[in-house]
Amino acid sequence: MDFDALLEKCGNYGRYQFVLLLVYGYTNIMSSMHYFAQTIISFTPEHWCNHELLENLTYTEIREIYSQIENPSCTLLDDIVNGTAVASDFGECEDWIFKYENGYESVTTDLKWVCDDAVKGAIGQSFLYLGSVLGTILFGFLADKIGRLPTMMLTTITGAAGDFITSFVTTPHAFAASRFISGLSIDTLFYMSYIMVFEYLDPKKRTFGLNIMMAFFYFFGLVMSPWYAIWVGSWRKYLLIASLPALVVLIYPLFIVESAQWLATKGDYKGAVRCLKRVAKFNKREVEEEHFDQFISHYEEKMASEQKEKEEKDTFMGLFRTPRLRKFTIVLFIKSMITTISYDIISRNMEGFGSSPFLLFSLTSIVYIPAGFTIILLQNRIGRKGLACGSLFVGAILTAITGVLLAILDLKENAAFLACMVGLGRYIAIVSYEAEAQYAAEIVPTSVRGRGMANIHVVGYAFSFLSAYVIYLSNIFKPLPSIVLAVLMLCGAALCLMLPETLNQKLPETLLDGEHFCSDEKWYYFPCIGRKKKDEVEVTKL
């Protein structure tokens, strides 16, 4: 009796899974506040170089005075003649007038990291990504070494500690160091709880459970984040709010257990049985002892027969030792790069669209709900490959069109229309990003899922270092960033055709299972337009 069969007897969609999904939902709120904290604390309002002659003037009057100056944010004034600013030939701007958004003080306004000092905030963001790269590798290793549950707790506390420390810094070096600590859990905070739910939930309910919880709870965290920031009035207090909820993870062991499937792949069969018995008790299921004995016997026989292969291959590097797994892994790496940088650029770029970045960020975050429902409605109908490929293809077309519109439209006059385009862009980016996460988790074998998913994600985040440079291309040609993203997304859509369809398949547990997974499937197979012949492959009904 394998894990799926025993879990069904213990309950794979009962009270325990409900609690696990609530934990996952809570983690999504923390994750959204943590991931986008850098965006929230770095919003830079409209600003002008200060001068004593500008005192007691309204923002409209100041804007009019500076209208003839090419760079009003950083140009030091010498005088104001007949309502027109006269730029100084000497000196640099040292003080600014900020048009605060409802009184909110960001890190850039508080520490005056604008003009020549704007790079200080960018360096902090770079260290955030550097931390995410190292943290994803570290916590991915720990997930397969010490277990999913302790790693999930450790990564949550680490990220919160980084945000907490950041709220007290006053220098660029301290800011970069604290953002590095915060970045250690920027991705693992989310996907550790994702793996826990993934491995305990009925395969038929995974798409619904994972995505509906993400849609509502992640959406809630995103929509409320900018208003929390405005409510407390400063970036320092906002980071405190974002960090304190992490203390709840200390009581997680009272409600949830370690991944029994992971314990089984590590040979700790008694530990796996203890966890499954606790799940059965929580779900009020009576499971005969002989079923647990059959479970242990099944894995003892399976692991004994594959011991040689296990010793040689059941490491992360084993994903590259056989041709089919090597191809899948490389494709998943490249696809992660594409979906991550697309998601990151589209989600973070909220300034310069003719409307308040706080309002734009909050309103466009609503698309998380329809994005979640889109995944739920389509992933089990057109398949994992169909949704991953289709969302990237549609996203490429939409991104290219949006870039052209941004180049030809007046931002102030078309702010509402551009906000809709930004929201639509975020919607497609979310669908492709979340579809990729579940798709990759189903392809990577259980024995290396923690490390595999960690490294797939870390490559994506490493590639996100280029986000700032892609955005900078707009200085050369305004639609160029959108064109670059569109080309990348088209390449990602094409790469999806090289991956197997995982819908209604028994997922691989070991590397040997992964190498033979869907070995007779054609590259053009999609469940929505074709069926496998029964004599070609035995489909396990999940």
Q: What is the mean pLDDT of residues 353-362?
A: 78
Each residue of 255-301: pLDDT tens digit?
A: 999 999 889 888 888 899 999 999 999 999 998 999 998 888 888 88
Encoded tokens for 447: 């024995």
Work out the percent of the chain whose per-residue pLDDT is above 90. Answer: 21
The answer to whether 455 and 319 have CB atoms below 8 angstroms apart is no
pLDDT bucket at 313, cuts 50 / 70 / 90: very low
Q: What is the mean pLDDT of residues 43-48?
A: 85
Q: What is the mean pLDDT of residues 471-485?
A: 76
Rounded Cα distance between 326 and 452, Å, is 12
Beta bridge partners, 79, equal 86
Beta bridge partners, 350, equal none
Q: What is the mean pLDDT of residues 236-251?
A: 91
Q: What is the mean pLDDT of residues 441-468?
A: 79
Q: What is the pLDDT of residue 154?
A: 94
Q: What is the pLDDT of residue 121?
A: 76
Q: Across 39-105, where does the E strand assignment appear?
A: 47-49, 77-81, 84-87, 96-98
Comparing 194 with 491, the larger pLDDT belongs to 491
Q: From the CB of residue 142, how many other CB atoms can be counted at a distance below 10 Å?
A: 21
| 3-state SS assignment for residue 157 | helix
Q: What is the pLDDT of residue 42?
A: 85
Give percent helix, percent strand, percent coil of the chain, each to the nearest 5: 70, 5, 25
The answer to whether 509 and 438 have CB atoms below 8 angstroms apart is no
Q: What is the pLDDT of residue 224?
A: 87
Contact residues for 283 (Cβ-Cβ < 8 A; gap 6+): 10, 11, 14, 15, 16, 17
CATH number of 318-529: 1.20.1250.20
pLDDT bucket at 351, cuts 50 / 70 / 90: low
Q: What is the pLDDT of residue 274?
A: 93
478 pLDDT above the threshold of 50 = yes
C-alpha torsion sign, points 374, 379, 382, 388: positive
Question: Domain-by-domain residue ranges, the chain?
Answer: 1-28+109-305, 318-529
Nearest-CA neighbor of 366 among 223, 226, 212, 225?
A: 223
Q: What is the pLDDT of residue 536?
A: 42
Fold category of 1-28+109-305 in CATH? Growth Hormone; Chain: A; (1.20.1250)
Q: What is the mean pLDDT of residues 90-100?
A: 85
Task: Quote the longest CA-to-CA distance of the chain.
Answer: 93
Of 45-54, 116-125, 216-225, 255-264, where does mean pLDDT reach its minimum? 116-125
Work out the percent of the chain whose per-residue pLDDT is above 70. Answer: 94
Rounded Cα distance between 530 and 135, Å, is 42
Q: What is the mean pLDDT of residues 429-448?
A: 84
Q: What is the mean pLDDT of residues 25-41?
A: 88
Each residue of 206-215: pLDDT tens digit?
A: 777 777 887 7
Rounded Cα distance between 30 and 190, Å, is 9
Tokens 């809630």 correspond to 220
pLDDT bucket at 354, cuts 50 / 70 / 90: low
Nearest-CA neighbor of 319 among 453, 132, 187?
A: 453
Each residue of 117-152: pLDDT tens digit?
A: 877 877 777 788 788 888 877 887 888 888 889 999
Rounded Cα distance between 538 and 533, Å, is 9
Q: What is the mean pLDDT of residues 44-48?
A: 85
C-alpha torsion sign, points 82, 87, 91, 96: positive
The answer to whether 539 and 504 have CB atoms below 8 angstroms apart is yes
Common-topology check for domains 1-28+109-305 and 318-529: yes
